Amino acid sequence: MKHFIKAGLSAAILIGGSAIASAQTQITWWDFLEGGDGVRMKALIKEFNETHPDINISSTTLEWGVPFYTKVQTATAVGQQPDIMTYHLSRFPLAVPQGQLRPISDDELAEAGLSPDDYFPSSFNAAKVGDQLYGLPFDIHSIVLYYNKDALDKAGLLGEDGKPKGLDGLENFNAALAKLEESGVEVPLSLHTDEGGSMWRVFYTLLAQQGAPFIEDGEILPGDAGLKALNAMTNWVASGYSPELISYEASIALFTSGRAAMHINGVWEVPTMKDLAKNGDLGFEWGAIQIPVLMDQKATWADSHAFAIPHSEANPISAEKVKTVLQIIAWMNEHSLSWADAGHIPAFKAVAESDEFKKMEPNATYSALAETAVFDPEISIAGVAGPIYEATQNFIVPALNGQLDPEDALDMVRDELQGLELN
């Protein structure tokens, strides 16, 4: 009998114990962060879980771009969505009309201890559609020009301050590429020439540097600014400065192996360079600067990783969970200094204005780009994995690789998107 009671007791304890364990709030988290970003985000999640015993985030990293957003779309449709996900701000105009994002009320925001003043207005406002907030920005990220100091020095393109000189203006830039080639560099400028996302960033930067919009009064790519931008890119490939159809990994490898003198890519590859340099695997000194003014004015494409709560008609998230999710978002923002280490510019003012961030290199060198950053147009065809990206992949990429005539390619972009925009 005693044994029986004992057994019963221990069973009760076991059950009680598991009840306590299940009182922990389970949060499902989806992101698309791979590479250096992924490592840092995993570390942040781990730290959060360790410091918050009552909350457990279980995270899944799905493939970036179309696969991720397709899965989100399907999951919200059937009510199997995660509680929190990373989302590109550029996609908000596409996602909100489809009802994929759950609005966040002022009260909920305040309860999490956050206020609009905590963020830079440009990115905070981009997280709104109308007056309604649909997510919170985490960073501002852009593209920069990575350069090999040794190679630039040899070609006489390095200034006293260790930064490139004579790159402003398209003609000068092209002349610099020619100089680099003469000085024996195999690849003057490494670009990720085989994919629409990467090429959209460069194309849009060159467009914005002409002060030209992508869409105006319902007209896609008005005027010849688009052609000018595309011709500049096409010329790099045609002149042999940039190899054609290079995959993402290879475009980086060309630079890190010293075969390419310059490389245009997102700030998120900063950790790759940092880590290689730290381990002595880089073989040269590297730097990163804001994209030079190749056209008429300073401007760089930019986007934001934001946090959002997926909305599902079938299975809406509970108010309780929203509270927890916002608590997580607030914590992530407060701890975004380690995220800045991945090259990004934090969207959270307190971190972006901290001394630690201001001292962080190379972020400090290029963080001024935020002042002239140009976000994707706020229309429903824009955004990562949206129709504009797709059109870039389908027409602009082939054009700059010499598979399509640039002018025809832009007409095709117009044809493809014009109809969609009207819908």
Name the site residues for another protein (rule: CB under 8 A): 28, 32-39, 41-42, 60-64, 66-67, 69-71, 73-75, 77-78, 80-81, 98, 194, 245-247, 249-250, 253, 272, 313-314, 393-395, 397-398, 403-404
Shortest Å distance, C-beta 80 to another protein: 4
Ramachandran assignment for 343, one of left (phi > 0), alpha (psi -120 to 50 degrees), beta (any other) = left
Shortest Å distance, C-beta 106 to another protein: 29
Closer CB to another protein, residue 60 or residue 338?
60
Closer CB to another protein, residue 124 or residue 389?
389
In terms of Cβ atoms closer than 10 Å to its own Cβ (0-12, 13-18, 19+), residue 6 is exposed
Beta-carbon count within 10 A of 52 CB: 17
Alpha helices in 212-269 (DSSP H): 225-238, 248-256
Closer CB to another protein, residue 245 or residue 350?
245
Shortest Å distance, C-beta 209 to another protein: 26
Closer CB to another protein, residue 153 or residue 341?
341
Diameter of the chain by CA atoms?
94
> Within a 13 Å sphere around the CA of 372, how many CA atoms are in the beta-carbon half?
19
Shortest Å distance, C-beta 222 to another protein: 23
Closer CB to another protein, residue 71 or residue 414?
71
Shortest Å distance, C-beta 77 to another protein: 4
Is residue 263 helix, strand or coil?
strand
The answer to whether 311 and 321 have CB atoms below 8 angstroms apart is no
For the record, the structure tokens of 63 come out as: 């493939």
Shortest Å distance, C-beta 391 to another protein: 10
Closer CB to another protein, residue 14 or residue 314?
314
Closest Cα to residue 242, out of 261, 220, 216, 223? 261
Beta-carbon count within 10 A of 169 CB: 15
